[in-house]
């Protein structure tokens, strides 16, 4: 499923009209009807419904929705919240159809009247503003949004909760707080950002007849379970341990042995053939009982770098420490240019001074920062990153020729040529030390089992988050879930998603 900006969405409407001959009124009818049937899942026959209709095409959708609900026999009050003169174009055409169908609407004169109406209602449908919103809401929208948000009422939004910008990069807004949003055609960037996503509530996407084959590719999409089923490699019956990758994990220290232990165990639980660990010898007794299948390699004494040859993939950094004396390891890893390399956690701090050298590497380099680590690497503030994660990730990945996995509730995975995939699996049970180490292990393992690093990373993020979701659905809670539970839960997720 594509993820679009407002501009890209307008472009889709244009393509539908010019290339396929659909006209705007037809699209609005399709949109309004599709949204109505989607919203009906949240409405009961005995409910009283208020539909709020704004000035643009989102308001036009509102007239279609109100008409469809009235035709179906629901108890609906349609409120046009702007003067008649503001309803123009396709929206005006649908207003005429609404009236010609014998349905009345109420015109907002004072918010007192609307307040009374909302006070009687069970459900409020926000068809005021969509992707056309510019800047902060003006009156009368601010007042109405506040009234709706303070009422104990089911709040459903059409396309976007009014006031929420469609695109990243805008933080100054006030908006309708939806319990559920029925998104038209494709999710907008703001459905995935920390500061705007909560306004959507739950959401899903309705199809309105725009022909997919005619559409430009935004090179930004949601990665879901169907994608995983389609791309996760099968395990060949005649395979041997060498066919599934021999991985090296460099990390851990006497005070942080657990991180590398979890990475190694997660890697093996995700199908890696062999895993070797290079760590401080003092940490080995703490690691080996937890992951008996792993071997240990020498070479961390006195700042020595282990032998890096003969591996199908290397993961570096978890629990390693940030002492700059250890930077020699980074230099050596970059030189080992033909082996895929994943860098996480402390490794990302040590890597910062060597970013320009990454372009020498021939095999893929994968960086897996959370926003704090990405801020350190990029020199941006965490706030800048959270406000515009799509563009900052893209710029960074393209500039340094790396795969960037920017972790969070919506994880954005960017390829060196700027294509993006978003994984929204996972829950706050993962907001705990160790979750990232487990993810690194899964990613290392999947990277070694396919030529397609891009799919491996996307699948790894999905399997990690989905495992946490499955564990929380049954057995665990978000409070008690541990990173090590996620490792043990992988078996169920692989059973579900492997063919």
Ligand X SMILES: NC(=O)C1=CN([C@@H]2O[C@H](COP(=O)(O)OP(=O)(O)OC[C@H]3O[C@@H](n4cnc5c(N)ncnc54)[C@H](O)[C@@H]3O)[C@@H](O)[C@H]2O)[C@@H](O)CC1
Ligand Y SMILES: Nc1ncnc2c1ncn2[C@@H]1O[C@H](COP(=O)(O)OP(=O)(O)O)[C@@H](O)[C@H]1O
Residues found near ligand X in the complex (CB under 6 A) = 13, 24, 27-28, 31, 55-61, 129-138, 141, 158-159, 184, 208
Q: Which of residues 391-450 bind ligand Y (CB under 6 A)?
A: 407-409, 411, 426-428, 430-431, 433-437, 439
Residue 90 marked in a binding site: no
Q: Which of 94, 370, 392, 394 binds ligand Y (CB under 6 A)?
A: 370
Decide whether 36 or 270 has the Cβ nearer to ligand X. 36
User: In terms of DSSP H, where are the helices of 199-256?
Assistant: 225-231
State the minimum distance, in angstroms, from the CB of residue 79 to ligand X.
Answer: 15
**Contact pattern for ligand Y over residues 450 through 489, marking x by CB under 6 A:** --------------xx------------------------
Residue 58 marked in a binding site: yes
Query: Which of ligand Y, K ion, ligand X, none binds 138 (CB below 5-8 Å, type-dependent)?
Result: ligand X
State the minimum distance, in angstroms, from the CB of residue 368 to ligand Y.
Answer: 7
Q: ∠ CA 288-291-294 to the nearest 5 degrees?
A: 80
Residue 427 marked in a binding site: no
Residue 249 marked in a binding site: no
Size of the site for K ion (CB under 5 A): 5
Decide whether 175 or 314 has the Cβ nearer to ligand X. 175
Q: DSSP letter string over 268-282?
A: HHTT-SEEEEE--GG
Q: Tokens 């539909």 belong to which residue? A: 51
H or E, element range at 413: strand 411-414
Residue 65 marked in a binding site: no
Distance of CA 346 to the CA centre of its chain: 24
Determine contact, residues 478/427, Cβ cutoff 8 Å: yes
**Rounded CA gap, 143 and 171, in Å?**
20
State the minimum distance, in angstroms, from the CB of residue 125 to K ion.
Answer: 9
Residue 347 marked in a binding site: no
Strand partners for 183:
205
Residue 113 marked in a binding site: no
Query: Which of ligand Y, K ion, ligand X, none binds 437 (CB below 5-8 Å, type-dependent)?
Result: ligand Y
**Rounded CA gap, 53 and 155, in Å?**
14
> What burial class does residue 301 get, using C-beta atoms within 10 Å of its C-beta: 0-12 exposed, 13-18 middle, 19+ buried?
exposed
Query: Which of ligand Y, ligand X, K ion, none binds 131 (CB below 5-8 Å, type-dependent)?
Result: ligand X
State the minimum distance, in angstroms, from the CB of residue 15 to ligand Y.
Answer: 34
**Rounded CA gap, 235 and 232, in Å?**
10
* C-alpha closest to that of 494 among 459, 453, 463: 463
State the minimum distance, in angstroms, from the CB of residue 388 to ligand Y.
Answer: 18
Q: DSSP letter string over 165-220?
A: -SSSS---------SEEEEESS-BGGGGSTTTGGGG-EEEEE--S--GGGSPP-SE
Decide whether 29 or 346 has the Cβ nearer to ligand X. 29
Determine contact, residues 225/497, Cβ cutoff 8 Å: yes
Query: Which of ligand X, ligand Y, K ion, none binds 31 (CB below 5-8 Å, type-dependent)?
Result: ligand X
State the minimum distance, in angstroms, from the CB of residue 27 to ligand X.
Answer: 4
Determine contact, residues 53/79, Cβ cutoff 8 Å: yes
Determine contact, residues 155/81, Cβ cutoff 8 Å: no
Decide whether 70 or 249 has the Cβ nearer to ligand Y. 249
Decide whether 57 or 279 has the Cβ nearer to ligand X. 57
**Rounded CA gap, 406 and 389, in Å?**
8
> Residues in the site for ligand Y, rule: CB under 6 A?
345, 370, 407-409, 411, 426-428, 430-431, 433-437, 439, 464-465
């Amino acid at each position: 499923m594509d993820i679009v900006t407002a501009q890209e969405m307008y472009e889709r409407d244009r393509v539908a009209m010019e290339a396929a001959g659909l006209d705007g009124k037809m699209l609005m009818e399709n949109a309004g009807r599709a949204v109505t049937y989607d919203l009906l899942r949240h409405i009961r026959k005995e409910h009283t419904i208020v539909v709020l209709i704004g000035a643009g095409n989102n308001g036009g959708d509102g007239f279609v929705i109100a008409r469809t609900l009235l035709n179906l026999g629901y108890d609906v009050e349609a409120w046009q919240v702007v003067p008649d003169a503001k309803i123009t174009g396709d929206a005006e055409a649908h207003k005429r159809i609404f009236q010609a169908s014998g349905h009345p609407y109420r015109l907002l004169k004072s918010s007192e009247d609307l307040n009374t109406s909302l006070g009687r209602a069970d459900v409020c449908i926000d068809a005021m503003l969509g992707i056309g919103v510019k800047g902060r809401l003006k009156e009368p929208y601010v007042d109405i949004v506040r009234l709706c948000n303070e009422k104990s009422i089911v709040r459903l939004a059409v396309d976007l909760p009014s006031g929420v910008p469609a695109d990243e990069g805008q933080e100054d807004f006030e908006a309708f707080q939806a319990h559920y949003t029925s998104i038209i055609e494709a999710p907008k960037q703001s459905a995935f950002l920390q500061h705007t996503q909560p306004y959507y509530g739950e959401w899903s996407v309705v199809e309105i007849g725009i022909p997919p084959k005619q559409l430009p590719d935004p090179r930004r999409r949601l990665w879901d379970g169907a994608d995983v089923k389609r791309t996760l490699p099968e395990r060949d019956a005649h395979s041997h341990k060498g066919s599934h990758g021999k991985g090296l994990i460099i990390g851990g220290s006497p005070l942080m042995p657990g991180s590398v232990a979890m990475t190694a165990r997660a890697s093996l639980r995700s199908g890696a053939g062999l895993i070797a660990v290079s760590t401080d010898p003092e940490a080995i007794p703490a690691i080996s009982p937890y992951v008996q299948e792993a071997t240990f390699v020498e070479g961390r004494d006195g700042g020595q770098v282990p032998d890096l040859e003969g591996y199908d993939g290397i993961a570096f950094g978890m629990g390693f420490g940030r002492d700059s004396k250890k930077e020699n390891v980074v230099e050596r890893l970059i030189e080992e240019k033909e082996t895929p390399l994943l860098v996480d956690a402390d490794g990302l701090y040590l890597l910062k001074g060597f970013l320009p050298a990454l372009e020498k590497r021939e095999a893929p380099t994968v960086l897996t920062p959370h926003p704090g680590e990405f801020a350190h690497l990029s020199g941006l503030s965490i706030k800048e990153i959270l406000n515009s994660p799509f563009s900052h990730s893209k710029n960074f990945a393209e500039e340094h020729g790396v795969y960037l996995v920017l972790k969070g509730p919506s994880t954005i995975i960017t390829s060196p040529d700027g294509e993006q995939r978003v994984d929204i699996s996972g829950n706050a049970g993962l907001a705990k030390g160790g979750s990232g180490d487990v993810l690194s292990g899964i990613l290392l393992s999947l990277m070694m089992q396919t030529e397609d690093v891009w799919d491996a990373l996307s699948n790894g993020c999905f399997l990690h988050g989905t495992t946490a979701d499955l564990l929380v659905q049954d057995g665990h809670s978000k409070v008690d879930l541990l990173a090590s539970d996620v490792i043990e839960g992988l078996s169920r997720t692989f059973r579900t998603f492997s063919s």
